[in-house]
A and B are shown apart, each in its own frame.
Chain A
Amino acid sequence: MSLKKSFVLALSNILYDKMRSILTMLGIIIGVAAVIILVSLMNGMAKMMTDSFAEMGLTTITISTTNRGGSRTIDEEEIYAFRDEHPDLISGVSPTTTISGTVKYQTNSVTTSATGVSEEYATMKSLELQDGRFLQYQEIADYKKVCVIGSYIENELFGFGSALGESIKINGNSYRVVGVLKETEESKSGSADDVIYIPYTTAVRVSRSGTISSYTLTAPNQEIVTTATDALEAMLLEKLGDSDYFRVTNLLSLLDVATEMLDMMQILLVCIAGISLLVGGIGIMNIMLVSVTERTREIGIRKSLGAKGRDIMSQFVIEAGTVSGVGGIFGILLGSVLAIVLGNLLGLTATPSIGAVLLSFSVSVGIGVLFGYLPAKNAAKLNPIEALRHD
């Protein structure tokens, strides 16, 4: 018998008893929906994570040093020299010294921190300016008291007015605002808009320690980050003598760790979803077994009309596959809608991937066929005379 015809017959069978069909499909619907939701949300989360890492700069390498007890130190000249020797490994260098404190303009004040950086920092971090310009080499060389501020600071101190050219006080010292950065994160406190950049030379001079404890560097591309990190570590170890005195980190390795964790979580969640699909499959087997018993007479009639064991077998297998396939489609629809709704609530872009949809559809059809096999085999084995006598 043609596949199309058996499929149509299976569909009309589903429609004949809608309530039971829906109950049969429920396990599959829930299982498939769970798979779709989980995979979509995980993908959304992974995407959000990579995006924010990318924003922070995956080519960024950070060096932090602790000078406790060590007689040997390293200064910025040596870091710059390393860059000049290895332009293939390091493209940008900026010492970074953070001072925290209160920033004031007239009567307005805000508690935040200012970061001392070099003139290269804007390029390294792809900072975009809304007004004015970034710090310049000469200002750094001359220990100038100038600053570039984020939009959050401008809003807090100047309201709707412009900060450009005005002087603000950081811990009592006056700094002239030479540039205002473009808003990136809705000007929230603690965000990338809550920043003040000043020349690192100035920062070192006003800070208590008087030394540079960390450096931000960039590699020319992501592929080279690990090599560059290793080379920096080797150089620092040679200069400082002990790996306890410094740390070289990059976001790429952090991302790897985070991705690994996310992958593990995904495996766990998919296992859970798999269990619910299994339960759905057992539900289908259960109903198919009942259905074979109920339809014993039908099987007898079909056999008396010339149906062979394999005809009956394929009829029930196709029916089980169709039931769970249709359930799978419902599950995909339900799961997609819920994934998008939940994604919106969580602030993620959780669109179900084609892969997840295809996979869960074929898994649900497969489960139907697999779990429909045993009942179908029972049906195929029935003796026609006994089956006809059944009522």
Chain B
Amino acid sequence: MTPLIEFKDIYKIYQMGDSAVHAIDGISMQVYSGEFLAIVGPSGSGKSTCMNIIGCLDVPTKGSYFLDGKDVSHMNDNELAEIRNKKLGFIFQQYNLIPKLTVQQNVELPLLYAGLSEKEQAARAMESLERVGLADKAKNLPSQLSGGQQQRVSIARALAGNPSIILADEPTGALDSKTGKDVLDFLKKLHQEGNTIVLITHDNTIAAQAERVIRVADGKVVYDGIADIRKFAPIAHAGDTEVEQ
């Protein structure tokens, strides 16, 4: 069985004048279809860089990235856009909804770029909104919704294109603990339905909700295993407060 995500010795190096910043410093990993993976680590450890590469928003400096068996590490902008559209669904910390568009229009966007007919766009967007329980808000503008609702809209948008991977970067970062828990529960439900989820967080307790945890520090993988907080949290960065729990 081919892994859905396969990193082979990936490096991302930023040249800052004379010094080189190794945002990712040789990561290799494999993620299979149906997994619920959390990537955790302190600030500046390279989580977002990692997610950008997984999400085909960026290409590695060195190494190969196979997505669903296809080498995407040397693709051009248009090919990457196509991959993002077909294979990936993003959930961002700041929801990233377009304020001028209605909830439905926002959810239709990935379908629009996939070239679906307008009828199909509308039908699939509504179906997706139904799944997050916001079909009645379809005609509202994002600004008329609460933060939790907006995040659910962004989840609906991520689901609309029926992607192979759902990538969530700090999806609960802007929410209070109650709504944050709802969102997490929803991600778990999606996982149970068979979706592959990659969750990026700096919060150990949130990472512990996943099935598998990869802990990164200074651009390197320092833990890769089951999501048992006692196993991955003790080697946590000194600044992390969750260790005591």
Contact = CB atoms under 8 A, between A and B. Distances in A.
Interface in B28-71: 52, 55, 57-58
B96 A306 contact: no
B85 A306 contact: yes
B96 A297 contact: yes
Contacts of A303: 57, 81, 84
Contact of B115 (A1, A16, A309): A1
Given A5-B118, A12-B100, A304 B78 contact: no
Given A16-B100, A385-B57, A311 B113 contact: yes
A384 B78 contact: no
Contacts of B118: 2, 5
A308 B81 contact: yes
B81 A307 contact: yes
Contacts of A300: 96
A301 B157 CA distance: 11
A13 interface: yes
A306 B57 contact: no
B18 to A, nearest CB: 23
A164 B196 CA distance: 109
B98 A308 contact: no
Interface residues of B, number: 28
Nearest to B113: A306
Contacts of B115: 1
B112 interface: yes
B100 A305 contact: no
B78 A308 contact: yes
B77 A304 contact: no
A305 B157 CA distance: 9
Nearest to A4: B118
Contacts of A388: 57, 92, 96
B129 to A, nearest CB: 16
A349 to B, nearest CB: 45
Question: B98, B110, B118 — which one has the most chain A CB atoms within 10 A of its CB?
Answer: B98
A306 B77 contact: no
A298 interface: yes
Contact of A1 (B57, B92, B113): B113
A297 B118 CA distance: 25
B90 interface: yes
A247 interface: no
Interface string A307-328: 1110100000000000000000
Contact of A309 (B78, B100, B109, B161): B78
A2 B108 CA distance: 13
A302 interface: yes
B113 A384 contact: no
Contacts of A1: 112-113, 115
Interface in A224-244: none
A385 B52 contact: yes
A302 B100 contact: no
Contact of B86 (A5, A297, A306, A308): A306
Nearest to B78: A308
Question: A1, A13, A309 — which one has the most chain B CB atoms within 10 A of its CB?
Answer: A1
B109 A305 contact: yes
B113 A304 contact: no
A375 to B, nearest CB: 17
B1 to A, nearest CB: 27
Contacts of A307: 81, 109, 113
B84 A305 contact: yes
Question: A5, A297, A302, A304 — which one has the most chain B CB atoms within 10 A of its CB?
Answer: A304
Interface in B64-110: 77-78, 81-82, 84-86, 90, 92, 96-98, 100-101, 105, 109-110
Interface string A9-26: 100110010000000000
B98 A304 contact: no
B114 interface: yes
Nearest to B79: A308
B78 A13 contact: no
A302 B57 contact: no
Contacts of A385: 52, 57-58
A1 B98 CA distance: 17
B153 to A, nearest CB: 13
Contacts of B109: 301-302, 305, 307
A300 B92 CA distance: 12
B207 to A, nearest CB: 23
Contacts of B161: 306
9 contacts: A12-B101, A298-B98, A301-B109, A302-B109, A304-B57, A306-B81, A308-B77, A308-B78, A385-B58
Interface of A: 1-2, 5, 9, 12-13, 16, 297-298, 300-309, 311, 384-385, 388
